Amino acid sequence: MPCQNPGCMRKYDYDHIAVYARKRYVEGISTIVLLCNAKTDGEKTLIALASLLDLDDDNIRELKPYCSRKCQYLMFELRDRLKFMIEQERHHNYSALPISRSLPARR
């Protein structure tokens, strides 16, 4: 269930963020190219959220793209799901460009 608070990244759907996370990290399209091709602000926001995968936990805590402790917890969970999904898909896509930061070990 997404969060209704404006400014909270949890108002966006995992599936929608995943579309852009896949383009960025599996297909290897740069964030800039994705942003240039985005037609709506909603699309741009989703691309920015997908690029959260480039940040480490401390950077994200500084940005605070969530409204409460509960959303914080759920957001990190969502990010871990995205990382896991990308890791899986990258195994099947050897032409993918290297990710700027190595993905954390699976728990």
Question: Phi-psi region for residue 94, left (φ > 0), alpha (ψ -120 to 50) or beta?
Answer: alpha
Contact 65, 9 (CB under 8 A): yes
**Which one of 30-38, 42-50, 66-74, 90-98 is the stretch in contact with Zn ion (CB under 5 A)?**
66-74
* 8: contact with Zn ion by CB under 5 A: yes
* 71: contact with Zn ion by CB under 5 A: yes
Instruction: Report the residue number, 8 or 53, with the smaller CB distance to Zn ion.
Output: 8
* 9: contact with Zn ion by CB under 5 A: no
* 77: contact with Zn ion by CB under 5 A: no
Chain residues 10-49 in contact with Zn ion, contact rule CB under 5 A:
10
Contact 67, 3 (CB under 8 A): yes
* 75: contact with Zn ion by CB under 5 A: no
* 78: contact with Zn ion by CB under 5 A: no
Nearest Cα to 24, choosing from 51, 57, 60?
51
Report the alpha-carbon distance of residue 75 to residue 82 in Å, rounded.
11
Site residues (vs Zn ion, CB under 5 A): 3, 5, 8, 10, 67, 71
